[in-house]
């Protein structure tokens, strides 16, 4: 039986995959990683490896993509294939770090009431930025995670994995979306240039939240990649 391990993004959880769960289950046994208990990409990666089956195909979305890269580099003998979805290998910029510090300062002394409307809207295709059903689902995940997870994940700084990605020998699927306002197609192409067995796919008419905005299209890409890679 094939094992799939799925890692969510910032302030998300396993419900990120709800629209794909039935289809993904046809490909194998599903394990949903929890990235809310630890601070730091490496600590999160260690936790994933403790929870995961012995060998598995690994999927990382957004922040989960950074963790997935760390997992694959830590335990290449266990990761049969790697799918990096709407993510990057770029380090945190000085501007991002300053913004995060400001958020952290505020978050530590105020009640957590969820993510801002602006943050939620920016994660979707511009035409869907007022889609109440999607926005409510995103906010529900953020509220379920709560303040402590918010603080831990804000403190999780990103380092660049770009040079280390050359070490990866397993098949790698890299998915970007053409209207993603948080992660660019260019970032996906940068990762692909470092990886011997990389395959890049671009989802059209889609924002950052590809598993929720275009679940059928994303599943089709995943299924084809798994079959063609012999995973």
Name the nearest CA neighbour of 186 among 89, 62, 121. 89
What is the rounded CA–CA span in Å between residue 229 and residue 34? 27
Percent of the chain's residues with pLDDT above 70 = 100
- 115-124, pLDDT tens digit by residue? 999 999 999 9
User: What is the rounded average pLDDT of the residues 36-40?
Assistant: 94
Retrieve residue 87's tokens: 């993510």
pLDDT of residue 74: 97
Q: How confident is the model at residue 105 (pLDDT cuts 50, 70, 90)?
A: confident
In order of 31, 52, 81, the CA distances from 156 in angstroms are 22, 21, 25
Name the nearest CA neighbour of 209 among 1, 19, 5. 19
What is the rounded CA–CA span in Å between residue 84 and residue 69? 8
User: Is 159 a residue whose pLDDT tops 80?
Assistant: no
Task: Write out 6-61 in H/E/C secondary structure.
Answer: EECCCCCCHHHHCCCHHHHHCCCEEEECCCCCCCCHHHHHHHHHHHCCCCEEEEEE
229: phi then psi, degrees, rounded to nearest 5:
-85, -10
pLDDT of residue 160: 67
Catalogue all structural domains in the chain, each as residue range(s) with its CATH number. 3-92+158-229 (3.40.50.1820), 94-154 (no CATH)
Answer whether 0.75 is exceeded by the pTM.
yes
């Amino acid at each position: 039986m094939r094992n799939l391990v799925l890692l969510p993004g910032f302030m998300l959880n396993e419900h990120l995959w709800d629209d794909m769960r039935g289809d993904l289950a046809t490909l194998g046994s599903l394990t949903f990683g929890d990235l809310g208990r630890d601070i730091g990409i490496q600590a999160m990666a260690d936790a994933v490896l403790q929870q995961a089956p012995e060998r598995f195909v690994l999927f990382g979305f957004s922040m989960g993509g950074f963790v997935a890269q760390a997992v694959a580099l830590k335990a290449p003998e266990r990761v049969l294939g790697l799918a990096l979805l709407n993510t990057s290998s770029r380090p945190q910029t000085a501007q991002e770090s300053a913004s995060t510090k400001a958020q952290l300062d505020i978050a530590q002394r105020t009640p957590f009431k969820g993510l801002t409307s602006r943050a939620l809207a920016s994660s979707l295709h511009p035409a869907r930025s007022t889609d109440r059903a999607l926005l409510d689902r995103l906010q529900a995940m953020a509220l379920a995670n709560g303040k402590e997870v918010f603080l831990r994940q804000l403190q999780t700084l990103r380092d660049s994995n770009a040079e280390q990605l050359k070490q990866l020998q397993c098949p790698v699927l890299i998915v970007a979306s053409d209207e993603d306002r948080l992660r660019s197609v260019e970032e996906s192409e940068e990762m692909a240039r470092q990886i011997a067995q990389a395959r890049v796919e671009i989802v059209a008419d889609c924002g950052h939240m590809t598993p929720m905005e275009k679940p059928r299209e994303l599943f089709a890409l995943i299924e084809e990649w798994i079959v063609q890679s012999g995973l």
